[in-house]
Structure 1
Amino acid sequence: MDISYKPNIHPEFEELMERIHPPRVSIDNDTFPDLTLVKVDSTNKHGILLEIVQVLTDLDLVILKSYVSSDGGWLMDVFHVTDQKGEKIMDENVIQRIHEGICVSRRVSMPKQLWIGHTALEMTGIDRPGLMSEMSAALSELGCDVSSAMAWTHNNRAACIIYVDDSSKGGPITDPSRVAEVQALLENVVEAHHYNNERRSVRLAAPATCQTHTERRLHQLMAADRDYEECCSCCGSGTDEDDVDQVYRHEGQTKKKCDGTHVKIDKCKENGYSAVTIRCRDRPKLLYDTLCTLTDLHYVVFHGAMSSNEAIAFQEYYVRHENGYTLDSEAERIKVTQCLVAATERRNSHGLRLDVCARNRTGLLSDVTRVFRESGLSITRAEFGTQGDNAVGTFYVKDMSGQKVNPETLEMVSQEIGGSIVVADRSPKSSTEATASDKSTSNAGRTHQFSLGHFLWEQLGRISNNFRPIKGDHLPVNGLKLPCKNGQA
């Protein structure tokens, strides 16, 4: 196992360096006619790249392309971003929040993602129809108000985080006996959906000042539940640039190569890195999801690039473990591959997307999920939150019998909750393909064809000239013998 030199820097010294050289953010709306460049340079520390990307994704910005370099204790990032409409970031409020999120705290608290001050219920277990409905009903019977909830399903496993308050006191549940009562009842509910010796977990956590971002916590819960064990990279590497352009003939028709998730891990001995390359279908927050996984596996990204081409996303990272090791053992490479494949799949949407809006009240989530269950609908993914007197939610549902969702069912749910339901997407997969394809077509004039390996380093060298670092010897690119795609200098 190769070990690269890593200086032992005291945490207090890192904090001092960050105070002396705080992150600097540049918002460039002049270079490109239809996108915004967000440039960040800062002292480097483990996890800072994920925090920056988290700020951008929490503001609902679309990251079209990014370049990362963080050798030598200094970090330089460039992100090509647009808003959800594919336009430049011209809103001064959004620009200010980018600066504040990255420069001031880098821990922006977004209402739909981070709910500090509420009791958090975390659950993992087998994905079975009606589980979320019965959990919501139990919380309602216990007098718990749901402030927000988020649930994912993947590989027949389910994970959810529900933030609750005590309706009688109007605040978080802090009394130990009350916490034990709520947790015991919920454990019984979850246990009823499982056979003996089947993995499951229920945990009620008190409010914390440094609570983990909800979506990152869901990744952690599903990884701890080992949902990645059935994952594998698609056959063949599928990660080279040439693979995107190659086509094959089948029954007289020309088809694209596999658009599944491909993960490839190579060694770069000359520079002490492991090269991790990912190719998969493009979708929102893909960069955030893969960085969550690498960070939680304790790998540090020293250089990287991300781009997309015709609805296919490419990501390439040059990484080392935080203790200086590279990915040398076969078991380690297999686990990292499985975890990255799972990270790209967990947020994939399956089923009919329903956007629900209603007046907030105690037991609303219980009513909505109960009607879904009684109508034979299974929830594959959910996000629910309150905004003042209103409650909004997005649910992906599918019929348990495999049939199409009956429109009468939607009307029944609408009448039951006393609100509105909008069918936002009747075919999530095809809609995703169309959206990504349109985005790629509209961006064709402003993006270059993405090339891995040596092109990454050329880009990093070029964009580094746009920064004005405090000290030249902090620059990671200067003087570095950069690897080519095959790992040779």
Structure 2
Amino acid sequence: MDLEEETVIIRRLPDEDLSMREVRISCPDATGLGVDIARMLLDFGLRILKGDISTDGSWCFLIFKVCLSSGVPPRWQLLKSRLEGICPKGTDTLQRLWRWRSVPKEQPPFLLQVAGYDRQGMLHSLSHALWESDTTVFKAHITTSPNGKVSDMFWLYDNRNELPESHRVLEICDRVKGALGPDTECTITPAPPDSLSAGTSASSKLLRKACKDVTSTSNLRRIVGSKKQLVGSSSEAALKDSFAGRQAEVEVTVDNETSPSHTMLTLRCRDRKGLLYDLFRSLKDMDLRVAYGKIEVYEEGMCEVDLFVQDVEGTRISDSELLQELIDRVRTAVALPVLISLKDSFDATCTELTISANIDSGGRGRPRVTFDVTQGLSAAGVGVFMADVYIEQPDLDAFGLPVVGGPQAQEVHRFLIHMPSGQPVSGDRDKKAIYDVVKAHLMGTSVQQQQLAATAAGSLYAATGGGGLSGAPFSSAASAPLPAGPGGEQQSNLLRALSGKWKGKVGGL
């Protein structure tokens, strides 16, 4: 096939690092396609360094310069295949026929049960194996018994729609056993309907689709109107970020002078992993369409994005209230994409780490959360003996739909963590250090990692009189090589500060 006729082209750039590629996509346009593409790039651990987006409303052309995050293996051919799978095909009548025939059937959920023995990094290895198997976990329950026996349950969708065929079951179980060991027990069965709603009512109600296949039920005008009716209500997010003293500096401006038919949205902030995904997700939630866009990441780590957007009627946004709502929603989505909470649990016998993130308009959670969190905890030597993943749905209106302008549905990842001795993580100083490591892995911000490593190492060392956290002396483990991971060298001082309290054999998932 001629390169010009290919939907997706991934090529190495001359004189560029091996970790960098140029991704070109040319296909029919669809509102929400940008979210799906940005989500896919994030799911593959890619950072967007530069981008150009152009569409005439029928056909779109996108170019991204991307690079692999630290520690992420290259899977360029698999990326090409999956991008081609989410792009619309055909033109005009054929495109409409494609949309009708490609309405995704409701994916049947399956229950994966895994039994084995505990070891350090087990949950992280298992998360990676399930990702490589092309499955999506939407609910999970992980437990570790006192004798070290692990019993895990994952409710998942097969992205290939091949389950429960025997060859597909064998493929997934082989990957799980390859990651955890040949003695691991693994079974896959259709998920019992009553298990889907156990503990939460949302899992059985939310349908998972690509954002391009979702018809929005809200827009900016409806959101603003509904918020006025909700003023004075007590509906607030139940989860709070433990250590977010102030949101990251995010500059958002709008301009209606540059184009007679588009509103120009400009975003300027520090670059991080998933930035474009969070931006496009918030625009899809408001049913706004991007006609043209330019993304640039500068050497000092700052990112600048210019987007020309239109409302559902194909016009620019002129109402001042709507413009302010647009600014506020984009700023929040970019500045605080996830909420991280640490607190004592079960009468302070363990520590609960909770990460929550808004789901997209297709009912899907944020990619790589479990993978990134377990990678950070594993690198820090923190044990996990219980974990849950579930969706919390907000209040519904009379038609069974989320209240427009109210709290959004969130995917919640809850981990019960402990030190190797079985003791909880004590003290705000220790919890803040774990918070920083987890957030650094979720955001993939090397600049942030350098700052937190230097700040934490200096302040904690001084606060403890040069003897580690809470006055505990450094053990010989502090000089041992640290596990590989994003910014491992940069966060070494931080992890050394923690290692004084985590002596002995490291356990946990």
- TM bin, normalised by shorter chain, reads 0.3 to 0.5
What TM-score do you get using the length of structure 1 for normalisation?
0.46
